[in-house]
């Protein structure tokens, strides 16, 4: 039962992710992304961590994607076909680096797939249980993983400042 | 099959239908109360005192023609009302409405009067509420009509603005109860202070309750915050182009959302199924739950027919400059008190 549910949700995630890049309408892409986030949350539930699942829905599917949708609606972004720039010839350098990146990802995927059969790192049931409670997540986040937590927040701050600088118009 | 599983399935179906019926009942009372407030009689022709009016409305909606604008995005146009209704129903799943019961010895083990006792219930409510906005936004966008689009945009802006205060009000209760499970939060509110005042969180954080109710009205798009469908400006807002059952789904979603917001408010602030006087037996708790939810729903309807709609900039200014700071200070104050008193 569990394994079938896993394959079902995994299929939805892969299908929805393909939908995101396969769509011409940005609106549909955004919706497919939401679907893929929702299915990902279902996988978290299967992994016995309801907190991660709900956080995934609140933050990604709920907050960030609403903003995406809002921007797409406000700009009334048209189909890519209407944009003459989208059909312009691609420079050779971009093509080569794109191919290299695709090759790299293919190698990585093959490597990852060859390791599928091996058992994952076994944790004792008690610690797996405790991490799923919100209490424990909060404690661990601000003690054992305080450094990673702070670094992440600095990273997000840098991204935010970068976005402001990029978006700023010269007055 | 295991009798507990059957009982649970029956419970799920019963809640689903109860929510649908509550929407019909609410429509009737909304029209009756509105009429009384305006010194009219309201619906009076269908059945005694017009009680069958909601049924007549449903039959009328079912037989209407399903219209779709030619330039609409077909898939999203039909998906939007379904999303709205689903989100409205889903949130109720984690709301507990009674203590454990064996149904007069019918079952070996007591079942909980709640569809799912999730240990992160409070966050689930919040997550599903934040998904509800998609139905409205997509309806606005896919209709390909300027009134619908404006309604959808307004709704998105409004919901994003008020979700913050809503979440902060929820967080204050979370700090008080030290738990995310709605059942545990309700159970924390059992008993009385000095033998008379029930230990409800509304007395510990009255500001949080007020913030929650205001933000709840804004989240459910009810007057005086019904901008997404402000009929004087936007015809009917996001559902301008909808007819027949698609429109009925939006209508249903609005009323079910009201019930859910009220039910969550009752669980968080008004002691859930506990009796304020401590006189009735515990298995009658669900009656008290119903009474409290009905009182809040009456308040909702009363407010809609008493207060005029705000202006849009007033709504935004109120949300960001008044409600959000108040909710933040409330959370800090509650946290400070909890640390102080232990």
Mutate to test the interface with B, among A66, A136, A138 (most CBs of B within 10 A): A66
Place of tokens 């090759």: A103
Given pLDDT bands bounded at 50, 70 and 90, which one contains residue B109? low
- pLDDT higher than 70, residue A129: no
Question: Which pLDDT value is given to residue A111?
Answer: 80
Q: What is the mean pLDDT of residues B104-118?
A: 69
- pLDDT higher than 80, residue A51: yes
CA distance B132 to chain A (A): 9
- pLDDT higher than 80, residue B9: yes
Q: Do B124 and A54 touch (CB under 8 A)?
A: yes
Given pLDDT bands bounded at 50, 70 and 90, which one contains residue B301? confident
Question: Which pLDDT value is given to residue A77?
Answer: 56
Q: Do B157 and A70 touch (CB under 8 A)?
A: yes
Given pLDDT bands bounded at 50, 70 and 90, which one contains residue B253? confident
Q: Do B131 and A73 touch (CB under 8 A)?
A: no
On chain A, the residues whose CB falls within 8 A of the CB of B73 are: 27
Given pLDDT bands bounded at 50, 70 and 90, which one contains residue B106? low
Q: Which residue of B has its CA nearest to A41?
A: B127
Any idea where the domains of chain B sit in the sequence?
Answer: 64-104+119-341
ipTM, two decimals:
0.73
Question: Which pLDDT value is given to residue A84?
Answer: 55
Q: Is the pTM of this model over 0.80?
A: no
Interfacial B residues in 15-44 facing A (CB < 8 Å): none
Q: Do B118 and A50 touch (CB under 8 A)?
A: yes
Core vs surface per residue B288-326: b (16+ CB within 10 A) or e: bbbebbbebbeebbebbeeeebbeeeebbebbeeebbeb
Is B257 buried (19+), middle (13-18) or exposed (0-12) by CB count in 10 A? buried
On chain A, the residues whose CB falls within 8 A of the CB of B152 are: 73
- pLDDT higher than 80, residue B223: no
Least confident of A77-91, B30-44, B307-321: A77-91
The string of DSSP letters for B107-153 reads: SSS-EEESS---TTHHHHHHHHHHHHHHHHHHHHHHTT-HHHHHHHH
Q: Do A67 and B123 touch (CB under 8 A)?
A: no
Given pLDDT bands bounded at 50, 70 and 90, which one contains residue A52? confident
* Contact yes or no for A50/A132 (Cβ under 8 A): yes
As given in the structure block, the two tokens for residue B83 are 């999303």
Instruction: Tell me if residue A144 falls in helix, strand or coil.
Output: coil
Given pLDDT bands bounded at 50, 70 and 90, which one contains residue A130? very low
- pLDDT higher than 50, residue A3: yes
Least confident of B132-141, B142-151, B181-190, B274-283: B274-283
- pLDDT higher than 70, residue A104: yes
Q: Of B253, B251, B248, whose CA–CA distance to B64 is shortest? A: B248
């Amino acid at each position: 039962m569990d394994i079938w549910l896993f394959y079902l949700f995994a299929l939805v995630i892969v299908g929805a992710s393909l939908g995101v890049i396969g769509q011409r309408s940005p609106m549909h892409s955004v919706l497919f992304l939401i679907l893929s986030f929702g299915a990902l949350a279902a996988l978290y539930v299967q992994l016995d961590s309801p907190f991660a699942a709900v956080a995934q829905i609140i933050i990604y599917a709920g907050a960030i994607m609403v903003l995406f949708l809002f921007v797409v609606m406000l700009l009334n972004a048209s189909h890519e076909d209407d944009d003459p720039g989208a059909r312009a010839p691609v420079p050779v350098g971009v093509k080569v680096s794109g191919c290299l990146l695709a090759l790299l990802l293919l190698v990585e995927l093959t490597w990852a797939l060859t390791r599928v059969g091996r058992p994952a790192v076994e944790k004792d049931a008690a610690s797996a249980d405790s991490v799923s409670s919100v209490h424990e997540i909060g404690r661990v986040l601000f003690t054992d993983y305080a450094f990673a937590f702070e670094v992440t927040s600095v990273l997000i701050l840098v991204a935010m400042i970068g976005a402001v600088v990029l978006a700023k118009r010269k007055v | 099959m295991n009798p507990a599983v059957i009982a649970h399935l029956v419970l799920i179906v019963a809640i689903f239908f109860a929510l649908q019926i509550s929407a019909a009942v609410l429509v009737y009372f909304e029209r009756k109360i509105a009429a009384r407030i305006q010194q009219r009689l309201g619906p009076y022709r269908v059945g005694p005192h017009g009680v069958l009016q909601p049924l007549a409305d449903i039959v009328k909606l079912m037989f209407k023609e399903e219209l779709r604008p030619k330039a609409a995005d077909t898939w999203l146009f039909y998906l939007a009302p379904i999303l709205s209704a689903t989100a409205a129903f889903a949130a109720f799943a984690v709301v507990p409405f009674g203590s454990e019961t064996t149904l007069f010895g019918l079952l070996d083990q007591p079942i909980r009067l709640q569809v799912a006792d999730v240990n992160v219930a409070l966050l689930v409510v919040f997550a599903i509420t934040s998904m509800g906005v998609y139905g409205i936004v997509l309806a606005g966008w896919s209709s390909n009509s300027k009134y619908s689009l404006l309604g959808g945009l307004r709704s998105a802006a409004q919901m994003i603005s008020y979700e913050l205060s809503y979440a902060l009000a929820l967080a204050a209760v979370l700090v008080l109860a030290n738990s995310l499970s709605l059942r545990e939060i309700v159970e924390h509110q059992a008993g009385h202070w000095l033998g008379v005042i029930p230990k409800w969180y509304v007395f510990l954080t009255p500001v949080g309750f007020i913030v929650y109710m205001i933000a709840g009205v804004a989240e459910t798009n009810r007057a005086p915050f019904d901008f997404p469908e402000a009929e004087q400006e936007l015809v009917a807002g996001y559902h301008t182009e909808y007819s027949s059952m698609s429109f009925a789904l939006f209508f249903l979603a609005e009323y079910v959302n009201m019930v859910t917001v009220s039910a969550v408010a009752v669980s968080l602030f008004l002691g859930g199924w506990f009796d304020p006087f401590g006189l009735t037996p515990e298995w009658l708790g669900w009656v008290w739950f119903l009474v409290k939810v009905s009182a809040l729903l009456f308040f909702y309807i009363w407010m809609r027919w008493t207060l005029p709609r705000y202006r849009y900039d007033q709504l935004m200014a109120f949300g960001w400059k008044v409600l959000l700071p108040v909710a933040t200070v409330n959370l800090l104050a509650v946290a400070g008190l909890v640390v102080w008193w232990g």
